[in-house]
Chain A
Amino acid sequence: MKTYRTIRNSCQTPLNPLKGTFKSGINAVQVPFRGFRGVWLLLTFFYSSIVAKPLFPADTITDYYEVETIQMPKGLTAETDGMAIMPDGRIVAGFHRGEIMIYNPKTKTWKLFAEGIHDPLGILAVSNSEILVMQRPELTRIKDTNGDGVADEYLTVTDDFGLSGNYHEFAFGPIRDKKGNLFIALNCASSGAGIFPEVRGKLDTLGRPGRMYSAVPYRGWIMKLTATAARTDGKLHPYASGFRSPNSIGFDANGNLFAADNQGDWLGTSKLYHVQEGRHYGHPASLLWKDGFPHVTPSKLPVKLLDSLRTVESVAFPHSRIANSPTQPVLDDTGGKFGPFSGKMLVGEMDHPYLIRLMLETVDGHIQGACAPFLAGVGLRKGNNRLAFAADGSLWLGQTDHGWAGDRGIQHVRWKGKTPLELADMKLTPTGFVLTFTQPLDAATAKQLTNYQFQRYYYEYHEAYGSKQFDVKPVPVTNAELSADGRTVTLKLAELKAGYIYELELGKLRSRTQQSLLNHLICYTLNRLQRNTQANP
C-alpha cells in the first residue's frame, strides 16, 4: 500500500522524474519499506505515459483538472485532521499527532505553528496569526501574540460539552455564519470501547446502550456558540440532535447549514442533512439530552416513534456506490474559477479516490437533490477529509485514514480552464427530471431513451448497521426531449414515487464537439414530489 502510494504521489509531479522526484515522492509519505520496486515502477510509468499518450483520445478528466501532491514535512505522520486557508493564502493544517503546521504555497515550505493539540479536526482561520481549532476536548483560540510566527496563546473558546474518554467522541467544525455565530458538531461514542472512570460533564448510564452512544451531554448534537458583541466567545447551545458521526459541517450559498453523517446504526446509508434549529435527524442516542424528552434509553423506543421524530436527509449517498464515509461539505464560491459548478457544494469521501458533487434544489419547501462522483480518475487519493477553496479558486484537500480506509497528506486541485461535459444540474418535474449539461449535447445520442437508465430503491431506518436496498425497481424513461440550445434534456419517467433514491446511469452521451461525458452515475434523493405531481403521470 505504502509503495503503491509513493508511486502515485510521484506521478503527480510531472517535472523531471530524475531530478529529485524519487526523493520527494518517497519522502512525502514516509515509506517504511522503500525498495527498488517502487523506483522501477515509477520509471515504467513515466515511460508508458510518454509513449502511450498520443493513442488516447484527448478527453479525460485530466484534461480539465490537475492535481498537485504536496510534499509533506519529513517525519510528519500526515493524517490531516483539519485544514483552512489563511487570509494571506497560506494553508494551515492540523495533524493527528497534534501538530498545526502552515504551508506557504509560494515557497513550498512548511512551518510549525502550534503543538500538542488533541485531534485538531477542524480549523477556522481568524487572521494570519490566529486560528480557531476544534480539538477533542474543546474549541481553542490559538494565537501568535508576539509575531514570531509561532503560537503562544491557547485560550478556551468553549469546552461546555461532555467528554467520556471514548475514542469515537470526535468534534468537528467550527464554521461561522454571517452573524458571527459558530457551529460545532459532536460525535457519538462507539461501543468499540468503553468510557473513562472519570468523565467530563454529567454521566448518564441510560445513554450507554447501543452501538454508537451518548452517555455525556450533547454527544450526537450540533451546537451553536452564539456571537457576543466583542467576540464569538458566548454561550454554547444545543442546536439540533440525531447525529451519529457528523464529519463534517458546512454552509451552502444561501447560508443553509449542512452536516454529513456516516452509514452505521440507524443510518441505512450515509447522508447529508439540512440542519435546522430544534430538529432531530434520526440517530436516537442524542435524544437523551433533549430538553423535556423522557428519561429513557432513546434507542429502546419503538422504531415507528423514532421514525416520526426525525427529519430526513436532503441527500442519501448510496453505500459504496457513491460513498462509504462522506466528509466535509464545502461551497464552491469561486465564481467559476474552479470550473462550471460554482455556487454548488462538494463533499469529501474517505473510501473512494474522488469527491462528491451535489445538485440541490428546494421541492415543496424542503431541500433535496442529487449527488455524483466528481474528479474520479484525476489522480486524487482516498481519505479526502477536509476541503478548502483558496482565493485563486483552487481546491486544497486534506487526507487522512485514522485506522480506517483512506490516505494521508494534502493535495491541491486546479481547474485547467476548459469545460468538461458533465451533468451540471438535475431538477425534479411533476413528470420526471430535467437534466442540464455543461455543454450542448449531440442530439442523436441525447434523444436515445436507452442513454437514461433509472432504478429506484430505498434504505430502511432501523437500528442494525447499514441497510440493504429495498424495493429495487427499474423505472423506464418514456420520453427524452432536448432543448434548442442542446444543454437541457427533459425526461419523462413511467413512475415517480416519494421516499426513494432515483439512481441514474447515463449512457455514452457526447457534446456537439465530441467531448464524452465523464461521469455517468447520479443519485437523486426524492423525498418529496412537486406539489402538482399527478399520481400516475
Chain B
Amino acid sequence: MRKYAALVIFVALCGLKIPVAFAQDTTLTIRAIEGLKYDVPRFVVRPGTRINLTLDNYDDMSHNLVVTLPGGRLRVVNTAIGLGADAAKLNYVPRTPDVVAHTAIVEPGKSEKISFRLDQEGIYTYVCTYPGHGFVMYGAIYVTRKPATVPALEKDPNVSANRRDDLAGHVGHQPNHPYELKYPAIYRTFMPDSGPASIAVGLTPTQAYCWDAGACRLRYAWTGGFVDLTDHWDGNGKKPSHVIGDVYFRDRGGFPIRFGTADRLPEVHFKGYQLFNRYPEFRYLVNGIEVREIIKPLPTGRGLVRYFSLGPVAGPVYFVCKSGDGVKYRPSVGKIQDGVVRLPVGTKKFTITMIAE
C-alpha cells in the first residue's frame, strides 16, 4: 500500500503526460505471503517503464509470478492448469502471447528477480499460475499516464478479493457466525499467555476468562470485551486470538488443588465439560480424583466465583491462592494461611470467590 502510494505520488509529480522516452526504471519487491496472496495488491507505472521486480517467497509453499496482458489472467491460469505432464518443467507458465514476463517456481524462502518493460497503457496482471492459485492470488499493474483515474483500492475490481478484504480492514462487515453469539460463549482456540489447548469463555460480552485444558486450570481473566479471533481464523491460522479488554487476574500459583501436601503438584487430566445454562462445568482428574469446576461472574464488580466439587478424597485437600495475581481470594470454607486454604476434611463442595484488587 505504501509502495503504491509512493509510486502514485512519484508519477503524479511527474505530470499526467509523460513522453515515453522519459520513463524511468522502477524497482520493487513483491512478497508471496500466507493465504495465497502477494503483499503488494497493485502498483502504477507510466508507459515505457522498465520494471525490475523481485518475487520474494515468504509463504510455506511454492509460487511463481506471471505478468499477463490486460484481460489475459484467466486465460493464462486455465491454460496453465491444462499443461499436463510438462507443467512443472514449464514452471506452470504456458507459452502464450498473454504472458509478458514470468519468474520460475520460487520455493519458500527463495526469491527471483525479473525485468520487463510495459509500453502500452492498460491494466496488466501479475498472477501465480501454480495450479489452483491463480483464481485468488493476483494483483494489478496500472500502466497509465493518468494515475488519478485509478479507482480506490477497496473498489478496484482488478485487485484480488482476498487483498481488498484485508486492506478494507476487518471492520466487522461480515458476521463471525451464522448466528449472534450468545453468552456465556466458548471458543477452543490459541490464546496468548496460556497453553496451546486453551478455552476462552465469555461470561458476558464484557467479562471473560481463559481456561487451559492442558494444565486444567484458570489462567487469566479480563473485563471490557471477549476475544478477537480474526487473526487466528485468517489464512492457515498461524496467529493466536487476542484478548479484548483488560486482564485483571493472571494465575501465578500453578495448579491450585493439592492433595496430601500443599507443595506437591498433582498429575492432571482434562475430561471435558458439560454445559449448564451455557456455563461450562469443567471436569478433570487430579491424581485420579474427579474435580468439577464451574466459573461464574462476580455479581457485583470485577471478579469470579469458582464452584468446585470433589470426588471422594482421603487425606487433606489444599487450595493455593497466592497473593500478587491481581485478586483477593474469599474461600467458602477454611481460612487462607500463607497463601493456602486447607479445606475441612470431607469437603465435597466449596467456592472460591476472586475479587479484582
Contacts and interface: CB of A to CB of B under 8 A. Distances in A.
Interface string B307-337: 0000000000000000000000000000000
Interface stretch (A60-68, A133-141, A289-297, A431-439): A133-141
Interface string A457-479: 00000000110110000000000
Contacts of A116: 185-188, 199
B36 A405 contact: yes
Interface in A137-190: 137-138, 140-141, 145, 151-156, 159, 163-165, 167-168, 190
Contact of A403 (B34, B160, B174, B195): B34
Given A32-B165, A33-B161, A73 B85 contact: no
Interface centre among B107, B188, B235, B274 (most CB of A within 10 A): B188
B196 A163 contact: yes
Nearest to A467: B88
Contacts of B160: 1
B185 A200 contact: no
Contacts of A98: 187-189
Interface residues of A, number: 73
Main secondary structure of the interface of B (DSSP, over half): loop
A501 B161 CA distance: 39
Main secondary structure of the interface of A (DSSP, over half): loop
A135 B187 CA distance: 12
Contact of A465 (B108, B178, B276): B108
Contact of B179 (A4, A75, A151, A503): A75
A439 B238 CA distance: 50
B178 A73 contact: yes
B131 A77 contact: no
Contact of A321 (B87, B240, B272, B273): B87
Given A112-B179, A165-B196, A1 B136 contact: yes
A321 B275 CA distance: 48
Contacts of A74: 178
A165 B196 CA distance: 5
B84 interface: yes
Contacts of B186: 115-116
Interface string B166-206: 00000001111111000001111110001111010000000
A182 B270 CA distance: 19
Given A96-B233, A192-B238, A403 B161 contact: no
A334 interface: no
A350 interface: yes
Contacts of B213: 137-138, 159
Interface in B83-103: 84-85, 87-89, 92
A96 B234 CA distance: 10
Contacts of B260: none
A382 interface: yes
Interface string A425-462: 00000000000000000000000000000010000000
B342 interface: no
B214 A321 contact: no
A232 to B, nearest CB: 15
23 contacts: A1-B161, A32-B173, A33-B157, A75-B177, A76-B178, A97-B233, A115-B186, A116-B186, A116-B187, A138-B197, A140-B272, A151-B275, A152-B276, A154-B274, A155-B274, A159-B197, A159-B213, A192-B108, A198-B195, A200-B195, A324-B131, A405-B133, A503-B85
Interface of A: 1-4, 30, 32-33, 35, 73-77, 96-99, 101, 110, 112, 115-119, 135-138, 140-141, 145, 151-156, 159, 163-165, 167-168, 190-193, 196, 198-200, 211, 318-321, 324, 350-352, 382, 402-406, 455, 465-466, 468-469, 503
Shortest 4 CB-CB contacts between residues of A and residues of B: A405-B132, A403-B235, A192-B60, A351-B132
Given A75-B177, A155-B272, A469-B88, 14 more contacts: A1-B136, A73-B178, A99-B177, A136-B197, A154-B275, A163-B197, A196-B190, A198-B194, A320-B87, A403-B235, A404-B61, A405-B133, A405-B136, A455-B85
